[in-house]
Structure formats: C-alpha cells, structure tokens
C-alpha cells in the first residue's frame, strides 16, 4: 500500500473518532431517581447541564400535619389538610420552586396525581432538591422517590467546537480525494 493512501485512511479514522467524541455531552449520570426525606428535609444536590429537565414524584407521600385528613371532597381531593408529594427545587443560586402543593385524602391518591415539572437550565449549575417544611417533627409518611430526567439536551460549546472540527476535517479529506 502506498504511504499517502495509508496516511489518508489513518486521517479518516481519526476524523470519525473525533466526530463520535463530539456528540453532545449531558450529565446523564445525574439524571435518575433520588430520595427525599420529608421527616428531615435533607437536601439532595445534583449537577445540571444546559437543556430542559423534568421532575416528578413516582413513589411516596407525606402528611405535614401528622395524620389528620380534613376538608376533602367526595373524590378525595381539595383537602385543607392531607397527604402530599410537595417538594421544592432550586437551580443554581436561584429561589426554591414548589412542586405538587395539592392535598389528597390518601397517600396513593397523592402519588398517583403527582405533577410533572419541567424547567430549563442555561448553563452547568448545581441543582438542589428537598422537602421544605417547618417543623419536620410532626410530618409522617414515606420518602419521596423523585425522578429527574433530561427532556432535551443542549450541547455544550466545547462539544459543538469538536463537532465542527470533525466536519471540517471530513470536508478537507473529501476535497483532497477529489484533487488526487
């Protein structure tokens, strides 16, 4: 095999490898299921990357009044005291946003009706998830299982630069072949 053909083949493989490495990077390891304790309010910190994220309780409920369920309608909704999947999240140093403030007559109803929350992250920042209540000592219930998922990922600038470099390299290889 001629040296220039071997070099072109090696260059092509290097360019394909750089294109494969240039796929948008997302902290998928941070997307997943997290446990929030309504009896302690211990915060959970996660790494968030640019894109649209979603949060939803998939397991558990808690009662901030220690058990009494008051004022529910016939369907078990619109309670003045009852079971909830309420938790809060903050992106970066921003304020906490409440998710799921509705009150239900049973833990099962609260979990089944847990809302889906979506939010947009502009840059790589920490996120905090927690149950906020005062005092925690009168709460009853189980840990909340909260699912954090990436809805759409926004590529980081470094990934886009690497992708552009790979595409330009492929164009250069194609032009070189036409000239040969």
Find the range with the poorest average confidence among 95-99, 113-117, 172-176.
172-176
- pTM for the full model? 0.69
Specify whether the CB–CB gap between 163 and 69 falls below 8 A: no
pLDDT at 153: 67
Specify whether the CB–CB gap between 92 and 76 falls below 8 A: no
Residues 33 and 120 occupy one common structural domain: yes
pLDDT at 158: 57
Residues 82 and 59 occupy one common structural domain: yes
Residues 150 and 167 occupy one common structural domain: no
Residues 57 and 102 occupy one common structural domain: yes
Q: How many domains does the chain have?
A: 2
The C-alpha R_g of the chain, in whole angstroms, comes to 25
Residues 7 and 62 occupy one common structural domain: no
Residues 52 and 18 occupy one common structural domain: no
pLDDT at 178: 78
Residue 119: strand, helix, or coil: strand
* Range of the structural domain that residue 14 is part of: 1-25+155-180
Cα 136 versus chain centre, distance: 26
118-136 pLDDT per residue, tens: 999 988 899 999 999 988 9
Residues 45 and 116 occupy one common structural domain: yes
77-93 pLDDT per residue, tens: 999 999 999 999 999 99
Residues 88 and 159 occupy one common structural domain: no
56 membership: H or E segment, kind and range: strand 51-59
Q: Is the pLDDT of residue 175 over 80?
A: no
CATH number, position 56: 2.60.120
Residues 132 and 180 occupy one common structural domain: no
Residues 64 and 136 occupy one common structural domain: yes
pLDDT at 36: 95
Residues 44 and 6 occupy one common structural domain: no
Specify whether the CB–CB gap between 165 and 18 falls below 8 A: yes
Residues 83 and 67 occupy one common structural domain: yes
């Amino acid at each position: 095999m001629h040296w220039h053909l071997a070099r072109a083949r090696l260059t092509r493989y290097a360019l394909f490898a750089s294109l494969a490495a240039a796929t948008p990077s997302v902290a998928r390891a941070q997307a997943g299921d997290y446990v929030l304790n309504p009896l302690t309010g211990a915060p959970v910190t996660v790494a968030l990357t640019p894109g649209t994220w979603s949060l939803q309780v998939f397991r558990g409920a808690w009662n901030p009044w220690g058990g009494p369920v008051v004022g529910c309608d016939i369907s078990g909704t619109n309670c003045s005291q009852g079971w909830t999947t309420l938790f809060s999240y903050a992106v970066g140093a921003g304020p906490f946003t409440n998710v799921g403030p509705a009150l239900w007559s049973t833990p099962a109803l609260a979990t089944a009706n847990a809302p889906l929350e979506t939010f947009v992250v502009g840059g790589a920042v920490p996120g905090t998830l927690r149950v906020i209540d005062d005092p925690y000592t009168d709460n009853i219930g189980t840990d909340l299982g909260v699912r954090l998922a990436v809805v759409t990922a926004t590529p980081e600038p470094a990934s886009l630069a690497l992708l552009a470099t790979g595409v330009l390299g492929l164009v250069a290889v194609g032009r070189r072949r036409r000239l040969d």
